[in-house]
Amino acid sequence: MIAPTLLTQRATASAILVFLFVSVAQSASSFHPASTTTVTRPAVSGSCIPSERKALLTFKDSFWDRAGRLYSWRGEDCCRWKGVRCDNTTGHVVRLDLRNTDEDDWSNGLILSTSEMSPSIVDLHHLRYLDLSYNDFNFTSIPDFLGSLSNLRYLNLSAANFWGTLPSQLGNLSNLQYLDLAYSELISVRDLSWLMGLPFLSYLDLSTVDLSSERNWVHAVNKLPSLQVLVLSSCGLNNTVSTLSHSNLTHLEVLDLTFNLFSSPLAHNWFWDLTTLKKLFLYDCAWSGPIPDAFGNMSALESIVLHGTDLSGNIPTTMKNLCNLQELDLYDININSSISELMERLPKCSWNKLRKMDLHCANLTGELPTWIGHLASLSYLDLSENMIVGSVPDGTGNLTNLNYLDLSQNSLVGHIPVGIGAFGNLTSLNLGQNSFSGVLAEYHFATLERLEFLDLSSNSLKLDLHEAWIPPFKLKKGYFESCDLGPQFPSWLRWQTDIVVLDISNTSIKDDLPGWFWTVSYNAYELYLSSNQLGGALPEKLELPSMQAMDLSDNYLSGKLPANLTVPNLMTLHLHHNQIGGTIPACLCQLRSLRVINLSYNQLTGEIPQCSVDQFGFSFLVIDMKNNNLSGEFPSFLQNAGWLLFLDLSYNKLSGNVPTWIAQRMPYLEVLILRSNMFCGNLSNQLNKLDQLHFLDVAHNNISGSIYSSIRSLTAMKYSHTSGLEYLHTSWLDDYTGASISMSIKDQELNYTFQSTNNIMLIDMSYNSFTGPIPRELTLLKGLQSLNLSGNQLSGTIPNDIGILRRLESLDLSYNDLVGEIPSSLSDLTFLSCLNLSYNNLSGRIPSGQQLQTLNNLYMYIGNPGLCGLPLSTNCSTNRTNKIVQNEHDDASHDTTYLYISTSAGFVVGLWIVFCTILFKKSWRIAYFQFFDQIYDKIYVQAAVSKAVLIRKFL
Ligand SMILES: *[C@@H]1O[C@H](CO)[C@@H](O)[C@H](O)[C@H]1NC(C)=O
Ligand SMILES: *[C@@H]1O[C@H](CO)[C@@H](O)[C@H](O)[C@H]1NC(C)=O
Ligand SMILES: *[C@@H]1O[C@H](CO)[C@@H](O)[C@H](O)[C@H]1NC(C)=O
Ligand SMILES: *[C@@H]1O[C@H](CO)[C@@H](O)[C@H](O)[C@H]1NC(C)=O
């Protein structure tokens, strides 16, 4: 994840820098030779010097020009060729600009087709400007001969796929003013001492060049007295020096040391004397210690960006002097102070310049100061007295330029001051994930005309907005999760026709979902409306061309699914826990991008559409349709679902054979739940190849055949949590899988999160018609935690070495035709908290052992007349007496338990399950009860993370 972030950040930084240094570039390229004395030739319009034309053509020939960018390089007058510029007076080529302006696509650039750039370029003796950036030099090295272009002022070789070490001959370019080698991560530099030869250099960008072995970099750049911009981002630097005896960098305005490996205290650094600095980028390094007092000396400073460092503590009081401050980014720094203390320390003299304040996740406490936003500008509003509390500190200007304020994920409390509504330039306001309380009314938003991003989520805020209120803003992204927007559906949303992301989940809305909502969200790509009491039906026709993720789960929606659904980009659809009836419309088959679909807990009937086999299903990762009334056969489009991880069709009325292609067509299945349907056929082939499967529940169907030894192929279940499973998962899967899942176990609806690190390994084949023996190979599945084969017609003995399944917590083999003795290895199962062997034909002595003794439950052996020993009160000393005692015991126990056991088998099963559930290992119990919390936590953690990323991209 670091790489894209880094690129985005870098792109932003370099955009600023490019903007700043257009002037440098221009001065370099428009250099006028008036000062030189060799003007002999009269201006020859429309001609170029033949030797230079030849040099250019030779140079051109060393490239493969796929996009025809040098198409114009023909004819006599090379001065008219694209990218070439000659001096009007002398006719010499002075400028060669071959930058590939399509920076995103290298294929539009030139590709070097020889082993080195053509040396003919050095024949352009008068060249002042050379830009070869964003072309592809095919991992060749930067040639030494570039060092002989002694007239060069401007050299840009950035992002050009060069490789190797940087030639020190560049130090001969004594007129150079601008040198850009950014995005050259395959270039390394051992020694920068040649920089000494570039006394006029004012711009130097070496970002991503590997400087890790240049320990003297500070002294090397200090030899550049003209330097204005120094960018050394992502250079692998880890050392710095605390002072310089004499600093040459008296003109430096921009210093970018981001994304390096420094871990020393930030305060001990050579650059704190550089009072000319306007931009100091220090983020994403591991700087330690407090935020240095020395910031106070840098009165020209415009940006303080310190996120991604290990700094801690409040900003120093010395910052009062920074009257040019425009941007303060302390995201993720442990400020550990009250927000008012922090704001007191901000330079008041710069308040009308401050544009951006990012204090996300900065450990801030307390209430927002009531003077925030300077109430004066709200004076035209009729404000009731109690809102104007607190006084504006002296000398405070308006924060009139503030357009970005992020205070999210802190511990801020209290009401949102009404003055927040005075930030008329605010485009992005993030107050999410704090403990704000109270009511927000129309006047809080009074002048926020430019607001595009608003996050109030995870606070105890109530939005009390009049039904007829027309907001001054048009949001693009609005996050209100867990605020109180109800009970009516917020009618002001009607005006938010620019919305692309909206989260109003869990916002106490008890109303019908209005039809206009779908018009308003026409351009949206994420909608989260879950956990309200939204009623009504979905429209019959729904067209959302951009929609990617839609969550309407956990509401009271009724009616049918839209028969006409145009959401071609939909990837995630959550409609679970509603009251939607009718059939699943055939238009589902048009949702080719679907990855996650959860329709569980509705009242859907009819068949799952048999979407035409070769078009639909390729992108599925998760399908959950449990607890509906679906009928018909196993959906055939799943033959396309080659990436499917999770399939739950349980508690429906599906019938027909379990298809024979499950393993072949869905080889990555991790969870397969077909429980409580009417499937028949047999399963043996399926087990052959599903080597990622760790949760198999086909209970309560009519599946027959034997449990073949192929069960050994369930490789995933051979590992325990710590040793094996992680490797099966890739991180991109986690993004999707956390979003949904519940699973059922035994007869109760018990739920799990489907997380890569917390896989539950379970096989439940109970209440089917399986026959034959329990294969010995089952004992290879050493990770197995729960095994239920009850209610079948399994015969033979219990495998002797069942005790190998050390992680087993639940074992149910009841209601089969098993014979023989209970293997003594059963007592090795130290985690076992749930055992049922009742109603078989087992005989002999019940093995003893600590765990079995603690279970000590009569019912787990009942219905096996041949068993003896504890906990049965029969002893096994002689077979004869044994039998008699057992019978007596049975008679006796009938007195007390008859009702439970004989008349209501179902009830016994129920009891049994409760009993097991209570006894289950603590971690499991917690998993059951926290299921919903975890799911929603995870969704919103992700939402928060992606929000953070998006904010950063957005700006
Ligand atoms: C040189 O030629 C360019 C392009 O034709 C023109 O824009 C520029 O003004 C000329 N400069 C001088 C000094 O003649
Ligand atoms: C790039 O270099 C490789 C190896 O040196 C060579 O095989 C390949 O043809 C070159 N690519 C082009 C476009 O010339
Ligand atoms: C300052 O720059 C000049 C010119 O490059 C150089 O000679 C001198 O050594 C530099 N001073 C220091 C302390 O590096
Ligand atoms: C800094 O990097 C160099 C070169 O990679 C390495 O030898 C040195 O141990 C590193 N020092 C620290 C403090 O990490």
More confident residue, 290 or 877: 290
Query: Which secondary-structure segment (H or E) carries 317?
Result: none
Average pLDDT score over residue span 181-210: 95
CA of 66 from ligand 2 middle (Å) equals: 14
Interval 266-286: pLDDT, tens? 999 999 989 999 999 999 999
400 lines ligand 4 (CB under 6 A): no
Task: Read off the pLDDT of residues 11-44 as tens digits, 9 standing for 90 and up.
Answer: 444 433 333 333 333 444 433 433 333 333 444 4
Paired sense of beta strands 564-566 and 541-543, if any: parallel
Residue-level pLDDT at 856: 66
406: which strand partners?
358, 430
Residue 628 lies in a domain: no
Distance CA 187, CA 696 (A): 52
Q: Ligand 2, residues 115, 118, 138: which to mutate, most atoms within 8 A of Cβ?
A: 138
Any domain includes 891: yes
When mean pLDDT is compared over 25-29, 167-171, 907-911, the highest value belongs to: 167-171
494-544 tens-digit pLDDT: 999 999 999 999 999 999 999 999 999 999 999 999 999 999 999 999 999
Please indicate whether residue 113, judged by its CB atom, sits closer than 6 Å to ligand 2.
Answer: yes
What pLDDT is attached to residue 614? 63
For the residues 869-883, what does the mean pLDDT come to?
66
pLDDT-based confidence at residue 709 (cuts at 50, 70, 90): low
Rounded to the nearest whole angstrom, what is the distance from the C-alpha of residue 113 to the centroid of ligand 2? 6
Nearest CA to ligand 2 atom 5: 115
Burial of 823 (0-12, 13-18, 19+ CB in 10 A): middle
Substitution site in 188, 190, 239, 287 for ligand 4 pocket (most atoms within 8 Å of beta carbon): 239
Atom of ligand 4 nearest to the CA of 263: 13
Degrees, nearest 5: CA angle 595-599-603:
160
Confidence label for 265 from pLDDT (cuts 50, 70 and 90): very high
Q: Is residue 529 part of a domain?
A: no
The yes-or-no verdict on residue 437 having pLDDT over 60 is yes
At 882, is the pLDDT very low, low, confident or very high (cuts 50, 70, 90)?
very low
Ligand 2 atom with minimal separation from the 64 CA: 13
Instruction: Compute how many other C-beta atoms are within 10 angstroms of the C-beta atom of residue 387.
Output: 17
- pLDDT (mean) for 413-428: 88
Residue 901 lies inside a defined structural domain of this protein = yes
For a substitution probing ligand 4, which of 215, 238, 261, 263 has the most ligand atoms within 8 Å of its CB? 238
The answer to whether position 948 is within a domain reads yes
- Ligand 1 center to 176 CA (angstroms): 23
- The answer to whether the CB of 297 is under 6 A from ligand 4 is no
Are 410 and 921 in contact by the 8 Å Cβ rule? The answer is no
Q: Out of 160-174, 290-304, 495-509, 755-769, pick the least confident.
A: 755-769
Ligand 2 atom at shortest distance from the alpha carbon of 114: 14
Ligand 1 centroid from CA 87, angstroms = 8
Confidence label for 869 from pLDDT (cuts 50, 70 and 90) = confident
Nearest-CA residue for ligand 2 atom 4 is 138
Q: Is residue 370 part of a domain?
A: no
The alpha carbon of 739 and the centre of ligand 3 are apart by a number of angstroms equal to: 59
Ligand 1 centroid–CA 155 distance in Å is 22
- Look at the chain and report how many structural domains it folds into: 2
- What pLDDT is recorded for position 327? 92
How confident is the model over 83-94, as a mean pLDDT?
93
- Cα 379 versus chain centre, distance: 44
Whole-number pLDDT of residue 750 = 40
Please report which confidence band the pLDDT of residue 719 belongs to, taking 50, 70 and 90 as the band edges: confident
Interatomic CA distance for residues 938 and 404, integer angstroms: 27
- Closest ligand to C-alpha of residue 193 is 3
> Which residue range is the domain that position 903 belongs to?
875-909
| Ligand 4 near 212 CB (within 6 A) | yes
Q: Which of 174, 194, 218, 223 to mutate to test the pocket of ligand 3 (most atoms within 8 A of CB)?
A: 223
pLDDT in tens, 327-341: 999 999 999 999 999
Mean pLDDT of all residues in 169-179 = 96
Centre of ligand 3 from the C-alpha of residue 243, in Å = 15
Does ligand 2 come within 6 angstroms of the Cβ of 903? no
Tell me the pLDDT of the chain averaged across its residues. Answer: 81
Q: Residue 339 — φ and ψ, nearest 5°?
A: -65, -35
- What pLDDT, on the 0 to 100 scale, is given for residue 46? 54
H/E run at residue 69: none
When pLDDT is averaged across residues 373-377 and rounded to a whole number, the result is 46
Lowest mean pLDDT among 178-192, 576-590, 752-766: 752-766
pLDDT: which is higher, 210 or 22: 210
Binning pLDDT at 50, 70 and 90, where does residue 381 land? very low
Mean pLDDT of 460-477: 95
Q: Does residue 64 line the site of ligand 2, with CB under 6 A?
A: yes
What percent of the chain lies above the pLDDT cut of 70? 79
Instruction: Evaluate if residue 772 carries a pLDDT over 70.
Output: yes
* One domain, residues 880 and 900: yes
Which residue has the CA at smallest separation from atom 8 of ligand 2?
Answer: 113
916 — pLDDT class (breaks 50, 70, 90): very low
pLDDT tens-digit readout, 799-817: 999 999 988 888 999 999 9
Residue 38: the pLDDT is 39
The atom number, within ligand 4, closest to the CA of 261 reads: 14
250 C-alpha to ligand 2 centroid (Å): 45
| CA–CA gap between residue 857 and residue 868 (Å, rounded) | 14
Residue 946 lies in a domain: yes
